[in-house]
Chains A and B, each alone.
Chain A
Amino acid sequence: MLFALKNTLIFITVLLFTTPLVSSVASAKGVFQSRADFIGEVFPNQPPQSKVLWITPELRQQAQKILGHPLYGLRIRYHRTDHKTAWILEEIGKEMPITMGVVVENHKVALVKILAYRESRGGEVRYRAYTNQYIGMGLDSNLRLNQSVDGITGATLSVWAVNKVVNLALYYHSLVISQTDH
C-alpha cells in the first residue's frame, strides 16, 4: 500500500513538472481563429458584405444526402467576390461541433481551415498537412467530392465531418454561381 502511495506521488510530481512544458505548445482544442478574422484573411482588401443563400427544398434534399442527416436552418451565410466564395460551416464529429472555414474559387477548393475544434480526440484534422489535401478538389457528377483524402486513425468521425463540410461548401458555391450566371 505504501508502495502504491509512493508511486502515486511520483506520478503526480511528474505531472506537475511536465505541465508547464507542454502547456506552451499549440492547442489541440478550442477556437483557433474567429469568424471575422477568417473572412478578413480570405478577403484582405475590404471583406464583402455577407450574403444569404436561402435553403430551398432541392438544396435541403441534396444537403441531406451529403450530410447523412437533415440540414437544419433556413439560410446559409457566405461572402463572395466574383468567382470566390467563403463559407463558415459547422458539423459534429463525434459529439461536438467542429467549426470550419472553406474557400471555393471557380468550383475548386482553395482553402480549408478548422476554426474551432471541441472534440476530445481527432484534433489532427486541424493540421495544415491534413486540410491541404482538400485543395483543388471539386464535385463529381453526383455532387460528391471527386477525390479522397488520407484519413486519421482513430479520428474517422472528425475526418467524415470535414469531408461533408467541404462537399457542402462546393455544392453551395455551385448554386450561388449558377444563380448569378442566370
Chain B
Amino acid sequence: MNKITLTLLVGINSIAIPQAFAETPTIEEMWRTIQVQQAEINQLKDQLADTEEKAEATVNAVESLSTAPVQAGKTTLGGYGELHYNNLESDNSTSSTDAVDFHRFVMFAGHQFSDKVRFFSELEIEHSIAGGGKGIGQNDSKPGEVGLEQAYIEWDLAANQTAKAGLFLLPVGIINETHEPNTFYGTERNNVEKHIIPATWWEAGAAMSGELRQGLSYDMAAHSGLYMAEGNHKPRDGRQKVGKAKADDLAFTGRLKYTAIPGLELAATLQYQSDVRQDEGAAAIDGTLFETHIAWQQDQFQLRALYAQWAFDKAINATKEGADTQKGLYLEPSYRINDKIGVFARYSQWDNTAGSATDSETTQFDLGINYWLHPNVVFKLDYQNQHAAGGTGPDGINIGVGYSY
C-alpha cells in the first residue's frame, strides 16, 4: 500500500510542480488575457441587454393583452334601469294608484370611429312591455313604448369645439341630459322638469358645444320642435319624439353653463320656436322657453333649484285659458349622511295655465331617502304630498330600485 501511495504522490507532484513553478505571465500575456475576458464581458453584457429587451417586449406584449379592457374600446355598451312601486291616493279619494312598474330599461351603445368622430345611442323600453298604445291605468296589458332617445354622430371640430348631428337630448334643465337613477333623489323624476320643460326631451337636428373660457361653456342647437296640435296646450303633449315628426317649424336652443367652481353649476337655457302648431291652425303660436338652475354641492350638502317658464302666443288661450304662460320651480336640499345613505326634501310648484286669473297651480312636497348599495345601484323610498285643483293631487309613497353601468 505504501508503495502505491508513494507512487501516486510522486505522480501528482510531477504534474503539480510544473504548474506551481510556472513562470509569471508577462504583461503582454496578461493584457491579452484581459482583452479576451473583456470581450467575453462585453458579449455577456450584450446578451444580458438582449435578454432584458426580450423580457421587456414580452411583458409589454402581455400587458397590452391584459390591459385591453381598460383601453378605449371602439364600441362601448352601457345602460340603466329603474323599477318603481307607487302607492298613491288623491286628496279627494276619487283615484288611487297601487302599481309596480319597470319604468325604464335603457341600453346605451356607442362607437368610436376615430379620435374625433364618435356615435352614441340610447334605446329605451318604458313600462316594460310595449304595443298596446294606451297608457298605465287604462286597462292596457301593453302600456309601454320603445323609444330611441339618442342616436347622434359627434365630432370634434377643434380642441374645444364639438359638433353633433342626429337625435339628441336637448341642453335644458338638470335631469334632461343626466338622468341615471343613481344620480338623483326621488323615485320618480321631478314634476317641474316633466310638466314644464318637458323632460325627457329629445329632438333631431344639429348642435355645437364648447368652452368660451375656463368654466363657461355654451351649447346651441337647431332642431325639430314641438307639435302642439289643436286641442293640446301642454309642451309635454307636443313632444313628437322624432317619429315622422312635423318639421315645418324648427326650434332653436341655446345654453350657457358656468362650472368654474367645484361643486357649483349655474346654467340658463333659452329656446324659441316660431310656431308650435307647425303651420296648422289659423294663427302661428310661437313659444319661448326660459330655464335656469343651480346645482350646488358643498361637502355632504347639496342644493338643486330650478325655474322654468314658457311664454306662448296668446292665441293658445283659445285652446286653454291661461296656457300662454306655463311655469314651475323646485327647490331640493339634500344631505349625504355617508357613502351609502342620503336624504332629501323637495318643494315643487308648477302651472300649465299660469296665465289665467284662476288659481291652477299644483304644489308637491317630497321627502325621501336614497340607499346606494353600490355607487351605481340605488334603492329609493319617498313620500309625496301633492295639492292640485279639486283635491286631485296624489299622496303616498314611492319605492324604487335603479342601476346604471
Name the B residues within 8 Å of A4 (CB-CB): 247-250
Instruction: Determine if B71 is an interface residue (Cβ-Cβ < 8 Å).
Output: yes
Chain A residues in 8 Å Cβ range of B68: 72
Contact status B222-A95, CB under 8 Å: no
Can you list 21 residue pairs at the A/B interface with Cβ under 8 Å?
A: A1-B248, A4-B250, A7-B252, A7-B274, A11-B222, A21-B212, A22-B211, A25-B214, A26-B160, A27-B158, A28-B159, A73-B67, A91-B70, A95-B112, A124-B215, A129-B260, A150-B262, A150-B264, A153-B174, A153-B297, A160-B375
**Known contacts A21-B212, A152-B263; can you find 20 more A-B pairs with CB under 8 A?**
A4-B248, A8-B250, A11-B220, A22-B210, A23-B210, A26-B213, A27-B160, A29-B160, A68-B375, A69-B70, A72-B67, A72-B68, A74-B62, A95-B78, A97-B71, A123-B211, A127-B215, A150-B264, A154-B177, A154-B178
Residue with the greatest number of chain B CB neighbours at <10 A, chosen from A26, A72, A75: A72
Which chain A positions have C-beta within 8 A of B160?
Answer: 22-23, 25-29
Query: Which of the listed residues A7, A22, A153, A156 has the most CB atoms from chain B within 10 Å of its own CB?
Result: A153
List the A side residues contacting B315 at CB < 8 Å.
Answer: none
A11 to B265, CA, bound (A): 26
Tell me whether A148 and B299 are in contact (CB under 8 A): yes
With a cutoff of 8 Å between Cβ atoms, the chain B residues found around residue A48 in the complex are none
Is B333 an interface residue, CB under 8 A from the partner?
no
Check: A40 CB closer than 8 A to any chain B CB.
no
CB of A90 within 8 Å of the partner chain: yes
B261 an interface residue at 8 Å Cβ cutoff? yes
User: Closest CB-CB distance, B161 to chain A, in whole Å?
Assistant: 6
Judged by a CB distance under 8 angstroms, whether A175 is at the interface is: no
- The size class of the interface chain A forms with chain B is 35 or more
> In whole angstroms, how far apart are the Cα atoms of A96 and B112 in the complex?
10
Q: Output the nearest chain B residue to A31 by Cβ-Cβ distance.
A: B159
Taking CB atoms, residues of chain A closer than 8 Å to B37 are: none
Is the beta-carbon distance between B265 and A152 smaller than 8 angstroms?
A: yes
Give the shortest distance, in Å, between A27 (CB) and chain B (any CB). Answer: 3
For B110, B160, B206, B295, which residue has the most chain A Cβ atoms within 10 angstroms?
B160
Spell out A's residues near B (CB within 8 Å).
Answer: 1, 3-4, 7-8, 11, 14-15, 19, 21-23, 25-30, 68-70, 72-75, 90-92, 94-97, 118, 120, 123-124, 127, 129-130, 133, 148-154, 156, 160
| B72, CB-defined interface residue at 8 Å | yes
Whole-angstrom distance between the alpha carbons of A129 and B261 in the complex? 7
Closest to A23 in B: B158
CB pair B213–A151 under 8 Å, yes or no, is no
Does B93 sit at the interface, judged by CB under 8 A? no
Name the one of A28, A75, A92, A133 contacting B59, with C-beta atoms under 8 angstroms.
Answer: A75
B154, B222, B297: the one contacting A8 at CB < 8 Å is B222
Chain A residues, Cβ within 8 Å of B63: 72-75
| Shortest 7 CB-CB contacts between residues of A and residues of B | A150-B263, A27-B159, A153-B295, A153-B265, A72-B67, A11-B222, A150-B262
Cα–Cα, bound, A37→B67 (Å):
24
B71→A22 contact, CB < 8 A: no
Find the A residue at minimum CB distance from B73: A95
Chain B residues within CB distance 8 Å of chain A: 59, 62-63, 66-72, 76, 78, 110, 112, 115, 118, 120, 154, 156-162, 174, 177-178, 183, 206, 208, 210-215, 217-218, 220, 222, 247-250, 252, 259-265, 274, 295, 297-300, 375
Instruction: Knowing A74-B62, A124-B259, A151-B262 are in contact, say whether A22-B212 is a contact too (CB < 8 A).
Output: yes
User: Would you give the shortest CB distance from B171 to chain A, in whole angstroms?
Assistant: 11
Cβ-closest chain A residue relative to B120: A120
**B355 → chain A closest CB, angstroms:** 26
* B265 close to A129 (CB less than 8 A): no
Closest-CB distance, A118 to chain B (whole angstroms): 7
- What residues on B are CB-neighbors of A150 within 8 Å? 262-264, 297-299
Contact present for A25 and B213 (CB under 8 Å): yes
Interface contact A154-B265, CB-CB below 8 Å: yes
CA of A95 to CA of B70, assembled, Å = 10
**Whose C-beta in chain B lies nearest to the C-beta of A92?**
B70
> In the complex, what residues of A have CB within 8 A of residue B78's CB?
94-95
Contact A127–B297 (Cβ < 8 Å) = no
Chain B CB within 10 A, most for which of A91, A94, A154: A154
B58 to chain A, nearest CB (A): 10
CB-based contact A156/B183 at 8 Å = yes
Interfacial chain B residues near A149, Cβ < 8 Å: 262
The answer to whether B214 and A26 touch across the interface, beta carbons within 8 angstroms, is yes
A150 vs B263: C-alpha distance when bound (angstroms): 5
The interface residues of chain B lying within 8 Å CB-to-CB of A154 are 177-178, 265
User: Given contacts A120-B118, A150-B297, A151-B262, are A3 and B249 in contact (CB under 8 A)?
Assistant: yes
Q: Which residues of B contact A19 (CB under 8 A)?
A: 157-158, 161
B157 proximity list for chain A (CB < 8 A): 19, 23
Q: Please report the C-alpha to C-alpha distance between residue A75 and residue B64 in the assembled complex, in whole angstroms.
A: 12
Least Cβ–Cβ distance between A24 and chain B, in angstroms: 9
A15 cross-chain contacts in B, Cβ below 8 A: 208, 220
Chain A residues with CB below 8 A from B110, complex form: 95
In angstroms, Cα B262 to Cα A129, docked, is 7
Which chain B residues lie closer than 8 Å to A133 at the CB level? 262
